[in-house]
Structure 1
Amino acid sequence: MDIQNIPISVLDLAPVVEGATARDALRNTLDLARHAERLGFHRFWLAEHHNMPGIASSATSVLIGYVAGGTSKIRVGSGGIMLPNHSPLVIAEQFGTLESLYPGRIDLGIGRAPGSDPLTAAALRRGPGSDGQDFPERLEELRTYFDPSRAEYSPRVRAYPGEGLHIPIWLLGSSDFSARLAAKLGLPFAFASHFAPDFVIPALELYRSSFQPSAELAEPRTMIGVNVFAADTEQEASRLATSQIQQFLNLIRGRTGKLQPPVDDIESLWTPHEKAIVSKQLAFTVVGDKASVKDKLQYILDLTKADEIIVSSSIYDHEARLRSYEILAEAVGMI
Structure 2
Amino acid sequence: MPLGAFLLAPRFPGQTDRDALDRACAALDAAERAGLDEAWIAEHHFMPYGVCPDAAAFAAYALGRTRRIAVGTAVSVLSTTHPVALAERALLLDNVSGGRFHLGVGRGGPWVDLEVFGTGLERYRSGFPDALDLLLRALTGPTVTGSARFPFREVPVVPAPASLPRPPVAVAATSKDTVALAAARGLPLLLGMHVDDDDKLAMVAHYRAAGGPADAPHVSAVVAHVADSRAEAVAQVMDTAPGWLCAGLAAHVPVDGGRGPSRDPYAYARLLCDLHPVGDLDYCAARLSRSGIGRVIAMVEATGDPGHTQRTVAALGVLRRSGVLPPAASDLGKLA
Bin the TM-score by the shorter chain: 0.7 to 0.9
Q: In the alignment, what sits opposite 2:154?
A: 156
Q: Decide which moves more: 117-126 or 306-315.
A: 117-126
1:131 is the counterpart of 2:121? no
Deviation at 1:157, TM superposition (A): 2.5
1:86 is the counterpart of 2:81? yes
- SS of the residue 2:224 aligns to: strand
1:57 is the counterpart of 2:52? yes
1:223 is the counterpart of 2:219? yes
- SS of the residue 1:26 aligns to: helix
In 2, the alpha carbon distance for the partners of 1:56 and 1:118 equals: 16
Render the CA deviation track for 1:223-266: whole Å, top value 9, x for unaligned.
211111111233431232122243335556x357xxxxxxxxxx
Gaps of 5+ in 1: 1-5, 257-272
Q: Which amino acid aligns with 1:324?
A: T
1:320 is the counterpart of 2:318? no
In 2, the alpha carbon distance for the partners of 1:204 and 1:163 equals: 28
In 2, the alpha carbon distance for the partners of 1:276 and 1:292 equals: 21
Q: In the alignment, what sits opposite 1:259?
A: none
Gaps of 5+ in 2: 147-151, 253-263, 323-330, 332-336
Deviation at 1:150, TM superposition (A): 8.8
Q: 1:209 to 1:173 in 2, by over 3 A?
A: same
- SS of the residue 2:20 aligns to: helix
Q: In the alignment, what sits opposite 1:186?
A: 186
TM (normalized to structure 1)? 0.80
Q: In the alignment, what sits opposite 2:194?
A: 195
Render the CA deviation track for 1:254-286: whole Å, top value 9, x for unaligned.
357xxxxxxxxxxxxxxxx87555544665222
Q: In the alignment, what sits opposite 1:170?
A: 170
Deviation at 1:172, TM superposition (A): 1.2
Q: Which amino acid aligns with 1:185?
A: R
- SS of the residue 2:304 aligns to: coil
Q: 1:20 to 1:228 in 2, by over 3 A?
A: same
TM (normalized to structure 2)? 0.80
1:118 is the counterpart of 2:106? no
In 2, the alpha carbon distance for the partners of 1:250 and 1:23 equals: 17
Deviation at 1:177, TM superposition (A): 2.3
Q: In the alignment, what sits opposite 2:288?
A: 297
- SS of the residue 1:130 aligns to: helix
Deviation at 1:22, TM superposition (A): 2.2
Q: In the alignment, what sits opposite 2:233?
A: 237
In 1, the alpha carbon distance for the partners of 2:271 and 2:16 equals: 31
Q: Which amino acid aligns with 1:292?
A: Y
- SS of the residue 1:232 aligns to: coil
Identity of aligned residues (%): 24
Q: 1:102 to 1:274 in 2, by over 3 A?
A: closer
Render the CA deviation track for 1:99-135: whole Å, top value 9, x for unaligned.
2221210000011123xx6223322344453224121
1:96 is the counterpart of 2:91? yes
Q: In the alignment, what sits opposite 1:309?
A: 296
Q: 1:278 to 1:235 in 2, by over 3 A?
A: closer
Q: In the alignment, what sits opposite 2:28?
A: 33
Q: 1:255 to 1:132 in 2, by over 3 A?
A: closer
CA contact (8 A) 2:106 2:171 kept: yes
CA contact (8 A) 1:211 1:219 kept: no
When the two chains are superposed, the root-mean-square deviation of aligned CA atoms in Å is 2.8
Deviation at 1:14, TM superposition (A): 1.5
Q: 1:132 to 1:41 in 2, by over 3 A?
A: farther
Q: In the alignment, what sits opposite 2:245?
A: 248
Deviation at 1:139, TM superposition (A): 0.8
Q: In the alignment, what sits opposite 1:288?
A: 279
Give the total of aligned pairs. Answer: 302
Q: In the alignment, what sits opposite 1:71?
A: 66
CA contact (8 A) 1:83 1:138 kept: yes
In 2, the alpha carbon distance for the partners of 1:92 and 1:23 equals: 28
Q: In the alignment, what sits opposite 2:206?
A: 206
Q: Which amino acid aligns with 1:98?
A: L
